[in-house]
Structure 1
């Protein structure tokens, strides 16, 4: 583990949220999909699960995607903006299966606010550790998904949706054709 568990989960969750706005279509098409996403990523607290919340969560995605594409000054300005906008007040909490970790919004805050601040807090650790180089866009030619490389050797190049496997198969087939 490179960062605290809540930082790594925050980064993975932010990437997963950004990647729900997929090149092939909308992966949060309705409130049911948002409920599934919230359950998959263990979001606790207030879940309105209505159209307004769905719209607010979708609206957060381009703001988070921009963090993958900006330089350090942009990331710092954006993260500080998110923390101010949602009145972040970091506190140590323990709940469910989690030991002490940081929450910076109350559990009653809207889901989109909690997602924004959770991501911002994780990015704080990336900036402080001078690790923004771990943010990438998938190396597959036909994919624009964001990637957070938490590997020790910084070798992760592909997103979670199978692009790495497809690239490996294509390279294998190319080698087979070249050797014949």
Structure 2
């Protein structure tokens, strides 16, 4: 394991939320927010209203900038995020999740808690100098963020869809070379 479970979960949630702004936008309805929360359950206050959805939508560019920033800039962005909220750090344990740090009160808005959890996760990324694990997808037609939590640093694509599309394209390119005769006049 590269990072603690709560750090990895916060990074996955932040990447999914930031990537929801890609074309097509996948955070436009209440059901989209519910799908996000099903994939990444948060404890504490969840309003499930239009204002909360708009706050989540509005924070996506900030999350993307934090996640993709070079190390020193990432540290500045983390510090800015932490300075903008009232911190109330405490250890918490709930459900199947063992002791971990909650940095803000559970009654704070969901977008604020996600921002702070992302900042806290990025502290671990910065301290371990592992920012290279957060990149833009290697698919030339995709601008989504790819999060590589693999041991061998092999993940280059944001999703299986992008990875498969590129594998098929590479296969077809290899086949085209094999199937092309050396002499264009042969046949």
* Residue aligning to 1:67: 66
CA contact under 8 A between 1:68 and 1:137: conserved in structure 2? no
Which secondary structure state, in structure 2, belongs to the residue aligned with residue 21 of structure 1? coil
Alpha-carbon distance in structure 2 between the residues aligned to 1:89 and 1:46? 15
Which secondary structure state, in structure 2, belongs to the residue aligned with residue 26 of structure 1? coil
Which secondary structure state, in structure 1, belongs to the residue aligned with residue 86 of structure 2? coil
* Residue aligning to 2:125: 126
TM normalised by structure 2 equals: 0.91
Residues 70-121 of structure 1: CA deviation (Å, up to 9, x unaligned)? 2222111110111121223332110011111111112211110111011010
Report 1:17-166 matches (<5 A): 17-23=17-23, 25-160=24-159, 162-166=161-165
CA contact under 8 A between 1:140 and 1:167: conserved in structure 2? yes
Superposition CA RMSD, Å = 1.2
Which secondary structure state, in structure 1, belongs to the residue aligned with residue 91 of structure 2? strand
Alpha-carbon distance in structure 1 between the residues aligned to 2:88 and 2:45? 17
The unaligned stretches of length 5 or more in structure 1 are none
Alpha-carbon distance in structure 2 between the residues aligned to 1:179 and 1:125? 47
1:9 and 2:9 correspond: yes
CA contact under 8 A between 1:138 and 1:144: conserved in structure 2? yes
Alpha-carbon distance in structure 1 between the residues aligned to 2:17 and 2:53? 12
Residues 46-75 of structure 1: CA deviation (Å, up to 9, x unaligned)? 110111111111111100111233222211
Alpha-carbon distance in structure 2 between the residues aligned to 1:95 and 1:127? 27
> 1:161 Cα deviation (Å)?
5.1
Residues 11-44 of structure 1: CA deviation (Å, up to 9, x unaligned)? 1111011010012x21011222112211221122
Q: After TM superposition, what 4+ stretches of structure 1 lie above 4 angstroms from structure 2?
A: none
Which secondary structure state, in structure 1, belongs to the residue aligned with residue 142 of structure 2? coil
Deviates more, 1:59-68 or 1:120-129: 59-68
TM normalised by structure 1 equals: 0.95
Rg larger for: 2
